[in-house]
Structure 1
Amino acid sequence: MRSVAYEIGNKVSLRASATQVVLSSRVGQIVGLLPADRGEARYRVQVEGETFERCVLATDIEHAEVATDDAPKATATGPWLKPLSAKRGR
């Protein structure tokens, strides 16, 4: 069992399986993390060209590429609601 942990936004390539229907594309993107199933990590993956998300085990992922965004990621420095910026009605 691998101890690789993927993150949301990683591009992944799914392994071919005899029980799977032939996919038009095996490349997808991780869009969510799911609770572990018998100790193995599960992910929600959106495969290119499909309109639904798949539930994929970590062992079904062949390899991943880290998403490279040019935009800086937002960092949380405090609560999203600023009490002094909210105006009270008269």
Structure 2
Amino acid sequence: MSRSSYKVGDMIVLKSGLTRTAKADKRCRIASILPNDHGHVQYRVQFTGENFERRITEDDIDIGESPRRASLEAAAKADDAEPWLKFSGIRMGK
């Protein structure tokens, strides 16, 4: 399974043909990262002029034109992140 290369808030550029018109702005912001679907990383993105989000896969992103990618070190740090539930912090009443 592949890891996400981008993080929430990154501005990306979509490949041609994914927007309605050729003159439409292809830049959008990643709103959230979705679970993998058969090994493909999915994102919810939003264009600045729209009030809804679209679902795309990492294959839809134009890697050459996207200005910012998460570094490999940041991806490694995400794997070493602490779990959101800490069992040592749970107190049981008697």
Superposition TM-score, scaled by structure 2 size: 0.58
2:54 maps to 54
Aligned structure 1 segments of 4 or more residues deviating by more than 6 angstroms? none
Q: Deviations over 1:29-78 (max 9, x none)?
A: 001010111101000001121111010100001133349xxxxxxxxxxx
What are structure 1's unaligned runs of at least 5 residues?
A: 68-90
Structure whose residues are more often helix by fraction: 2
Structure whose residues are more often strand by fraction: 1
CA distance in 2, matches of 1:65, 1:10: 9
CA shift in 2, pair 1:49/1:20, >3 Å: closer
- RMSD between aligned residues: 2.4
Superposition TM-score, scaled by structure 1 size: 0.61
- Structure with bigger gyration radius: 1
What are structure 2's unaligned runs of at least 5 residues?
A: 70-94
Identity %: 29
